Amino acid sequence: MPELPEVETVRQTLLPLLKNKVIVDVDIYWDNCVITKDFKHKITGQHIQDILRYGKYLVFVLDEDVMISHLRMEGKYYIHQPRKKAHHEHVVFHLNSDEYLTYHDTRKFGKFELISKSMYLEVPPLSLLGKEPKDSDSRSLYQKLTHKRIPIKMAFLDQHIIAGLGNIYVDETLYRAKIHPLKPCDKITQKEVVSLIKHATDVLEHATSLGGSTIRTYHAVHGVDGKFQNELKVHTKKDEPCERCQTPIIKIKVGGRGTYVCPTCQKQ
């Protein structure tokens, strides 16, 4: 569930709390969430110099490596004093401040990976990541879309095409741009691409400024809840009147994803 605004909120929350701390040990309780072998040995002793974000990926900049962390659906970080291990806590980083950074993930979908600092942008997953909407130019995005027949919503969920959007913010972007999520990419005009980039940029920026959205079980860091869920126009609004035309919002499936759409405003 965390998309760009939620991940950015996590980054901003964690950075001042973790900057310059040393990872003195790591406990891994669920091996499958750690891709790198010898993770514990390699990360031990490294400082957290910085925390960056690319799309929905968090990048902890250490001394020799970066730790790439993807929260997927329900991954969360907590910082706290020593205590008994909690349910669904899969990785615990011991810090030199006698605090613990713990990673909590009910569905165990999140992943950790260590890659050397000198090459992490040149190898997957980050080498394959598309540009974020704010950095996208309409000409090259239009070129990426124009030969595809998949629905525009699926293309905007594909992080190789454009990075940072997930199910919530794609629905909001398409609503604002008045484009139907099922519209095939090869029917999208250059002008619509310009509009999509603008609305995606705006919605992500607005959501980030409000700390992201807190829906379902997601919240950024313990005690930090977003406010953008109050600004949603279509997502989760099934049967509620469209703000623009009063037509009830409907819920459909697009590529297997629950999708909210105004059947009047959003034309195919």
Partner DNA sequence: CCCGTGCCCTGGCGGC
Partner DNA sequence: TGCCGCCAGGGCACGG
Residues making contact with DNA (CB under 7 A): 1, 3, 32, 55-57, 70, 72-73, 87-88, 106-109, 124-125, 128, 147-150, 154, 157, 159, 166-167, 255-258
As measured in angstroms, the least distance from the Cβ of 96 to DNA is 31
Which position among 3, 6, 8, 89 bears the catalytic label? 3
Q: Is 241 left (phi over 0), alpha (psi -120 to 50) or beta?
A: beta
As measured in angstroms, the least distance from the Cβ of 95 to DNA is 27
Six-digit token string for 240: 């509620």
Residue 42 is a catalytic residue? no
Whether the upstream peptide bond of residue 125 has omega within 30° of 0, thus cis, is yes
Comparison of 23 and 92: residue with beta carbon closer to DNA: 92
As measured in angstroms, the least distance from the Cβ of 234 to DNA is 12
Which position among 56, 76, 233, 237 bears the catalytic label? 56
Six-digit token string for 88: 């669904």
Residue 3 is a catalytic residue? yes
Residue 139 is a catalytic residue? no
Comparison of 97 and 236: residue with beta carbon closer to DNA: 236
Q: How far apart are the first and last CA of the chain?
A: 27
Which position among 117, 134, 183, 257 bears the catalytic label? 257
As measured in angstroms, the least distance from the Cβ of 148 to DNA is 4
Comparison of 47 and 238: residue with beta carbon closer to DNA: 238
Residue 99 is a catalytic residue? no
Comparison of 137 and 186: residue with beta carbon closer to DNA: 186
Residues noted as catalytic: 2-3, 56, 257
